[in-house]
Structures are given as C-alpha cells and as structure tokens.
Structure 1
C-alpha cells in the first residue's frame, strides 16, 4: 500500500515544525545554568539533579568543583582554608540535597559538571 499524497500546505507546516525543533535543540545545547558562581552547560546537568544543584551553597559548590578536578579532601580543606571534617560535612550535605547514594556518586557528578573537556 502506498501512502496518500501530502498536500503542499501540510508539507510546508511539517518543514516549519522541523526547523523550529532543530532551532530549539541547538539553543538548548547552548544554555548555561548558574551553579554557585559558575556557568555550567545545561547539557552537563542530569535532569534529576537540576533542582538540587540550585540549592547548593557557595562553599558546597567550591568543594564540588575541587572534587570534580580530582582533589582529595585534605587538598580541598587546605585550598578553602577549612578543616577536613568540614569538607566531609559539605560532601554529606550535597549528597542529601542531590539525593545521591554517597560520595562516589557525588564524585562522578562533580566530574561531569566541572572537569574540563579539553
């Protein structure tokens, strides 16, 4: 069976719809989300963490950034001039806010958000 022919008006509407969808996809790939004071490409943030990321404090974001760069807790404490125990408190708070199962998941998310692509 062959499909019925599409009239020209319908074809024009479909082409316009496809053009708008491509434009929306391209724009969505360029959007940034403000995480603390850092602009993160929207495409890097998993949908389930989008709301939680916005609730992080400035210090939590700083800890997460260093974690994403592969720094150890002791290094993060030294860089932020806080105790190592305070770093652990921030890590636990972020896991709770982002509904993560633990620091390993937080480490993976931090790498996704803050590890440089180049």
Structure 2
C-alpha cells in the first residue's frame, strides 16, 4: 500500500489541514478584536463573510439557536430535542435561513454555521 492510499496518511493530512485552519481562525479572531452580536451570541467579526453581515440581522431567535447547534456539529434530531421542537421544524428553519442568507442549500449553511460557531480552542 502506498502513501496515497494509506488511510492513516490521509487522516494525518486531514488533521494537519484542520489544525492549520484552526490556527488561522484564532489568528483572525485575535487580530480584529471586533465582535458582531447575533442574538445573544457574540461572534468575532473576522468570521462573518461581508456579504452576510447585514442579512444575518433578519434571522429569528430560534433560527440563530438552530444555526449555533448546527455549527457545533449537531444533527437535526439532536437540535430538535435540545430546542423542544420537531425535527421537521428544524428543517423548516434550515431552509428559511438558506433563503434569508442566499445560500444554495443546507450544505453551505452547515459550513457557514461551522465558521461562525465552531470553537477553535
């Protein structure tokens, strides 16, 4: 088995890329110092793409909570349980956020949520 197909090598490469991404996020968070308030949460301004800075104000309190749990890697069923709503309601909130933020789908929303809320410590 060569290094290109060795699963251990692939995992190591992925971990190195993730560590580098986390280092860059920490550096950006520290350099700007500015924060943006989203509901009850304070997010480093460097994490918010400029095209979404204004449209994020249109999100409801529940949508922000769903977005936060999504950013932490929670599944729809977990989010529904944590917020005491149905899983179908979670999906409705996800679709509404995609429309409000002009994203192409839940996959892009998931990446956006991770950028906003994933802890880098």
TM-score (norm 2): 0.74
1:56 aligns with 2:63: no
CA shift, 1:55, in A, is: 1.1
Within the candidate set 110, 114, 118, 2:113 is matched to 110
1:79 aligns with 2:67: no
Separation (CA, whole Å) in 1 of partners of 2:67 and 2:73 = 10
CA distance, structure 1, for counterparts of residue 85 and residue 111 of structure 2: 23
The CA deviation at 1:116 is: 0.3
Map 1:20-39 to 2 at 5 A.
29-39=32-42
- What's the secondary structure of 2:42's corresponding residue? strand
Q: How many aligned positions are there?
A: 92
User: What does residue 14 of structure 1 align with?
Assistant: none
CA–CA distance in structure 1, aligned partners of residues 58 and 37 of structure 2: 11
User: Out of 37, 40, 43, which is 1:40 matched to?
Assistant: 43
Structure 1 runs (4+) greater than 2 angstroms displaced: none
User: Which secondary structure does the structure 1 equivalent of 2:54 belong to?
Assistant: helix
TM-fit CA distance, 1:30:
1.0
Cα distance in 2 for residues equivalent to 1:94 and 1:29:
26
**CA-based RMSD:** 1.3
Structure 2, gaps ≥5 residues long: 1-30
The structure that has the greater radius of gyration is 1
Q: TM-score under structure 1 normalisation?
A: 0.75
- For structure 1, the residue ranges without an aligned partner over 5 or more in a row are 1-27
